[in-house]
Amino acid sequence: MLGTLFNTVTVAIGAGLGLALRQRVPENLRSVVFSAIGLFTLYIGVDLMSGINTPVAVFVALVIGAALGHAMGVDRRVRAAADKLGNGTGSALVQSTLLFCVGAMTLVGCMRDGLENDPTILYAKGTMDLISSVFLAAALGRGVLYSAGAVLLLQGTLTLAFGTLGTGIPESMVTELSGLGGILLFGLGLDLLGVRSFPLLDLSCALPVLPFVLWLVEISSNF
SS (H, E, C) 175-210: HHHHHHHHHHHHHHHHHHCCCCCCCHHHHHCHHHHH
Average pLDDT, integer, range 123-148: 88
- Could you tell me if 66 and 200 are in contact, meaning their C-beta atoms sit under 8 angstroms apart? no
Whole-number Å distance between alpha carbons of 11 and 144:
8
pLDDT tens-digit profile of 144-200? 999 999 899 989 998 888 788 766 677 788 788 888 888 888 988 898 888 888 888
To the question of pTM greater than 0.75 for the whole model, the response is yes
Res 67 pLDDT > 90: yes
The residue that leads in pLDDT, 128 or 6, is 6
CA distances from 150 to 27, 113, 162, 185 (A): 27, 18, 18, 17
To the nearest whole percent, how much of the chain has pLDDT over 90?
Answer: 23
Q: What pLDDT is recorded for position 15? A: 92
Going from the C-alpha of 89 to that of each of 17, 46, 54, the distances in angstroms are 17, 28, 36
Instruction: Give me the chain's average pLDDT, please.
Output: 85
According to the model, what pLDDT value does residue 167 have? Answer: 60
